[in-house]
């Protein structure tokens, strides 16, 4: 038995119950090198040093996430963890996110647009997402295409055409320039659109949850694609709820003992010594 821990716990048990007990009233049950319970007349406790308690919270959280994923936490905690407690290796998930959007834009280049003045669906969506031209309604685009045709192919005067179609020269120039430079700027526009899509989500984990569901997050956690900084999560949980919320399965409380130890109650069972007949004690 770890005498320093047992003595610190014994002092608490006596003070809490108002009775005199000895170390004989405490039974140690060691489950592993890192986990030991102490059975006492007022319940079962674990007793840890400050460092051991911090490490135990980290281990508890890691096991919890392995079993339940982020469902184990409140929405507020999930948001904090996703944005502040990801391991650097999780940048791989961000790569998957980016590649997914890049693949989407590459795929729609072969699909027809809903409008005759766009070459394909890719050009249509890139125009719609480019803030340098997207404020213009698509009717303007159609009008610009018509004006350009009559001006360049039919030799009609540009000024009169602009008046007839309700356009100004700046709008005409910006839209025609966009189409003229499209092929040269296409890769840049795709990168810009991908960045815009990514910024619609709070994090790469948020993208997985919204687009593929919580089960996909659990899969990514299990295969190591999503990796958490468990120490950072533990610090957050401790700051918010204390270590007792993770380590005490009875009341979620942390009990400060002497000798710089901390106790965490696990149940309210009463430990009875083998050498005492408690029925006789009661009768006396």
**Kind plus residue range of the DSSP H or E element containing 30:** strand 27-30
* Mean pLDDT of all residues belonging to the chain: 89
- Looking at the structure, do residues 201 and 110 belong to the same domain, yes or no? yes
- The answer to the question of residue 163 being in a domain is yes
The arithmetic mean of pLDDT across residues 167-187, rounded, is: 94
Residue 276 is predicted with a pLDDT of 56
More confident residue, 264 or 1: 264
27-30: strand order across its sheet: 27-30, 36-40, 43-49, 261-267, 255-256
The answer to whether residues 99 and 64 belong to one domain is no
Average pLDDT over residues 123-129: 94
Which of 142, 176, 205 represents a domain boundary (last residue)?
A: 205
If asked whether residues 193 and 115 sit together in one domain, one would say yes
29 in the Ramachandran plot: left (φ > 0), alpha (ψ -120 to 50) or beta? beta
What pLDDT does 175 receive?
A: 94
176 is a domain residue: yes
> Is the full-model pTM beyond 0.85?
no
Q: Do 162 and 255 have their domain in common?
A: no
Kindly state whether residue 232 falls inside one of the protein's structural domains. Answer: no
State the total domains in the chain. Answer: 2
* 68 lies in the same domain as 125: no
Does 223 fall in a domain?
Answer: no
Task: Judge whether 38 lies within some domain.
Answer: yes
* Confidence at residue 55, expressed as pLDDT on a 0 to 100 scale: 94
Determine the structural domain holding residue 271 and report its residue range.
3-73+242-283
pLDDT tens string 10-62: 999 999 999 999 999 999 999 887 789 999 999 999 999 999 999 999 999 99
195 shares its domain with 251: no
Measured distance CA(115)–CA(128) in Å, rounded = 12
């Amino acid at each position: 038995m770890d005498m320093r821990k047992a003595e610190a716990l014994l002092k608490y048990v006596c003070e809490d119950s108002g009775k005199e007990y000895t170390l004989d009233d405490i039974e140690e049950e060691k489950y592993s090198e890192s986990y030991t319970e102490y059975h006492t007349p007022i319940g079962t406790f674990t007793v840890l040093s400050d460092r051991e308690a911090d490490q135990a919270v980290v281990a508890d959280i890691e096991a919890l996430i392995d079993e339940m994923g982020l469902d184990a936490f409140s929405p507020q905690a999930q948001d904090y963890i996703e944005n502040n407690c990801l391991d650097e290796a999780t940048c791989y998930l961000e790569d998957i996110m980016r590649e997914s959007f890049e693949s989407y834009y590459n795929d729609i280049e072969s699909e027809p647009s809903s409008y005759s003045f766009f070459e394909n669906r890719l050009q249509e969506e890139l125009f719609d997402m480019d803030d340098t031209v997207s404020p213009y309604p698509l009717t303007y685009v159609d009008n610009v295409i018509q004006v350009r045709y009559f001006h360049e192919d039919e030799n009609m005067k540009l000024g009169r055409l602009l008046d007839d179609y309700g356009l100004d020269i700046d709008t005409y120039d910006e839209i025609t320039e966009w189409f003229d430079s499209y092929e040269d700027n296409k890769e840049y526009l795709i990168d810009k659109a991908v960045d815009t899509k990514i910024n619609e989500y709070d994090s790469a984990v948020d993208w997985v949850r919204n687009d593929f569901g919580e089960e996909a997050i659990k899969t990514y956690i299990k295969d190591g694609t999503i990796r958490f900084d468990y120490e950072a999560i533990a610090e957050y949980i401790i700051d918010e709820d204390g270590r007792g919320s993770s380590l005490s399965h009875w009341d979620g409380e942390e009990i400060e003992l002497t000798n710089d130890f901390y106790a965490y109650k696990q149940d309210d069972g009463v430990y009875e010594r083998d050498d005492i007949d408690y029925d006789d004690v009661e009768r006396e």
